[in-house]
Amino acid sequence: MKRDTIDKLCCPFDKNDLDLTVVTKDTTENILEGFFTCKECRRIYPIVRGIPIMNPDEYREFSLEKPLLDKWNKQLEGMKIENFRLIEE
């Protein structure tokens, strides 16, 4: 995912801005892994192989996203994920 694409994205549910956490980039600074977090509703959207996963909740399967989120535990900074939203532990 190219950095200039990021400015064009917003939360598909409430249209608020997203915070970006980058986990890995390639040699040309394209984002390969990371996640977006909505500033308002706190939904989390993973970026996998450069593609943001921004489907409605009912079309997402947490069991498929969980291994990635577990891998990114350090970047989550002690936050827990419940119903695709970041919550304080």
What is the model's pTM? 0.85
Tokens of 1: 């995912």
What letter does residue 49 receive in the DSSP assignment? T
* pLDDT single digits (tens) 60-80: 888 888 888 888 888 888 788
* pLDDT single digits (tens) 16-57: 999 999 999 998 989 999 999 999 999 999 999 999 999 888
Which pLDDT belongs to residue 72?
84
Strand ranges inside the chain, DSSP E: 18-25, 31-38, 44-48, 51-52, 80-82, 85-87
Domain hosting 81: range is: 3-87
Question: How many domains is the chain partitioned into structurally?
Answer: 1
d(C-alpha 31, C-alpha 13), whole Å: 23
CA atoms within 13 A on the CB side of 26: 10
